[in-house]
Chains A and B, each alone.
Chain A
Amino acid sequence: MEFLVASAVGVLTAGGVYLLLRLRTFPVILGIALLSYAVNVFLFASGRLAIDKSPILAKYGEASYTDPLPQALVLTAIVISFGMTAVLVMIGLGAYLEADSDRIDIEDTEEDTGA
């Protein structure tokens, strides 16, 4: 289980970083999305992995439960990254329709703005 989660985080991060370094908007957005998945899984795992336990105490006597806080944190983080991605897609689409190209040019902004 630990191995599975750890490698999931690793693979997602690797893919995310690779895509983030592309020069086009759309892969960059995908890369950010993948990275945020990776960090969400990681955050979830920070509360220790436990299988088949509920995060809420059913009765106060039963001590077998998982840490609810990371689940709440992850839920919040997912909501926020969902919103961020949606807004980012909107901007990316706007930029694409505006310039007919989805390149990101860090170097020659001058030419970009001149066009």
Chain B
Amino acid sequence: MSWILALPLLIPFVTAIAVFLLSNSPKMSARVSLAGSLAGLVAALFLFAEVASTGVVAGQMGGWPAPFGITLVADMLSAIMVVITAITAVAVALYALGEIGAEQSRLGYHALFQVLIGGVSGAFLTGDLFNLYVWFEVMLISSFGLLILGGRPEQIDGAVKYVALNLVSTILFLSGIGLLYGETGTLNMADLSRVVAEHPDQGMMTLIALLFMIAFGVKSAVFPLFFWLPASYHTPGFAVSAVFAGLLTKVGVYSLIRAFTLIFVSQPEVTHTILLWVAGFTMVTGVLGAAAQSEFRRILSFHIVSQIGYMVLGLALFTPLALVGSVFYLVHHIIVKANLFLISGISQRMTGSGELYRIGGLYAAAPLLAALFLIPAFSLAGFPPLSGFWAKYVLVKASLDADAWIIAGVALLVGLLTIYSMTKIWAEAFWKDDPSGRIPKAPQDGPPLWPCYAAVVFLAVLTICVGLVPGPFLAFAETAATQLLSSDAYINAVLGAQE
């Protein structure tokens, strides 16, 4: 039983080793990286099928029983996240065929990328808070390496901020772990779920909960802790920033959801109220920040922040429907956001810049790219019938059901402002003529452009599928939300049914 859980972690690491040993041959290592990502997707789908048919799956590494051993556990939420991680990995590995040159390959791009995917999957699958910390660090170190790959000054500048703030969050996370262990004597999440609820000093538990909230808040870039994100995400290569934009902050959101549905639910009037305010401010500041930017990826970076607000909103409302919305939003957002970053990469290669006022004419030169841009852009803004519409619809409906009129209004308003930013990109990059009069076209030198297009089309098709047939996806999200709200299945799977 434990192998099906371990494989989504093992495959990326094995691939990383293979790719690293091949790093002198860029073509081979890019292909092996893609093959490894595909194998990872297959493993993730097997895990998903297992979870969908039998419920929560748990396994003990090394055969030591919980709560002492290293636990891996997948409920519906984890399984969904692992699958979506694998999908993003395939898309980005495909895109990398068309972007990553010999130099970056030699510096270890593919190996770092695979380690990053392994770290992300590990964070989704672990059933232990300390291991979550370890996976965070695996992600952090590899993302750090990816961020500075190429070593341009602005990359290093962004990287310093990124790492300094993330390390501070790590330190808070560790102190939270220390306090929690000192108070309860366990770090296994399923075990904690029982122990924390029965702990006599609930004030202390809430204090620890807030420490975790800040730590995960930095990771997921919520207001007021998001400053590192727009400062760094526009600097690295596009294949790098797409995977960052798609996955890294979502690990923070996942941890928030996990911690505040499974462990810290005894004082929701404190914790979840704070989360609600955080969600509102995150949505608004993110979208206003985006409105003030004029660089392709900076706009998108600020939009990540505002979208994180929606996901946290679902968690903060803490009703079944709202959690369905959160989970659905996570899936929708990862696909759409990674796709937009990939498109910005193609656009930059054709026009030579990401600064919107300096470029233009893409619609005339590449109508296919323009059409492909519209799909994720409209989805992000929440146009029916694309995936973003369903995500926003569920969340707004959940807020109205919970009589949270103000936050529902904010969510709708932020959706409108998102359209503004997307129209700006459309008008500047695609619609107007290039200010210097040149016609954008693909450069003759460098790797071919078709893998980039293939990756973008792959993700766009997924967006349309989720949009046109939302039924099964919503059903999966509903299963995930049900499992999140009644944690008995999770606890029993990890610790064994004890009654």
Contacts and interface: CB of A to CB of B under 8 A. Distances in A.
The answer on direct contact between A and B (beta carbons under 8 Å) is yes
A113 B157 contact: yes
B102 interface: no
B178 interface: yes
A35 to B, nearest CB: 5
Interface in A91-115: 91-92, 94-95, 98-99, 104-106, 109, 112-113, 115
Given A73-B177, A84-B167, 15 more contacts: A20-B168, A28-B164, A36-B167, A46-B181, A48-B182, A73-B130, A73-B181, A84-B137, A84-B163, A87-B144, A87-B163, A99-B153, A104-B161, A112-B153, A115-B153
B4 interface: no
A91 B163 contact: yes
Interface string B138-166: 00110011001001011011111101100
Contacts of A105: 157
A70 interface: yes
Nearest to B157: A112
Q: Across chains A and B, which 9 residue pairs bring their CB atoms closest together, nearest first?
A: A46-B182, A113-B154, A46-B178, A43-B178, A95-B156, A39-B174, A80-B137, A46-B181, A39-B171
A46 B179 contact: yes
A105 B168 CA distance: 18
B288 interface: no
Contacts of A88: 163, 167
22 contacts: A32-B164, A32-B167, A36-B174, A39-B174, A42-B174, A43-B175, A45-B178, A46-B179, A76-B134, A80-B137, A84-B137, A91-B159, A92-B160, A95-B156, A104-B160, A106-B227, A106-B231, A109-B157, A109-B158, A112-B157, A113-B153, A113-B154
Nearest to A104: B160
Contacts of A20: 164, 168
Given A32-B168, A84-B137, A115-B153, A42 B175 contact: yes
B148 A35 contact: no
Interface in B163-203: 163-164, 167-168, 171, 174-175, 177-179, 181-182, 187
Interface of B: 130, 133-134, 137, 140-141, 144-145, 148, 151, 153-154, 156-161, 163-164, 167-168, 171, 174-175, 177-179, 181-182, 187, 227, 231
Contacts of A94: 148, 151, 156
Contacts of B156: 91, 94-95, 98
A69 interface: yes
Contacts of A38: 171
Contacts of B181: 43, 46-47, 69-70, 73
A88 B164 CA distance: 9
Given A77-B174, A80-B137, A98 B153 contact: yes
Contacts of B227: 106
Interface in A1-49: 20, 25, 28, 32, 35-36, 38-40, 42-43, 45-48
A70 to B, nearest CB: 7
Contact of A42 (B160, B164, B178): B178
Given A73-B177, A113-B154, A25 B171 contact: no
Contacts, number: 99
Contacts of A47: 181-182
Interface of A: 20, 25, 28, 32, 35-36, 38-40, 42-43, 45-48, 69-70, 73, 76-77, 80, 83-84, 87-88, 91-92, 94-95, 98-99, 104-106, 109, 112-113, 115
A28 B157 CA distance: 14
Contacts of A69: 181, 187
A92 B167 CA distance: 15
Nearest to B148: A91
A53 B174 CA distance: 25
B212 to A, nearest CB: 14
Contacts of B157: 95, 105, 109, 112-113
Nearest to A29: B164
Contact of B178 (A39, A80, A91): A39
B161 A106 contact: yes
B174 A43 contact: yes
A46 B140 CA distance: 25
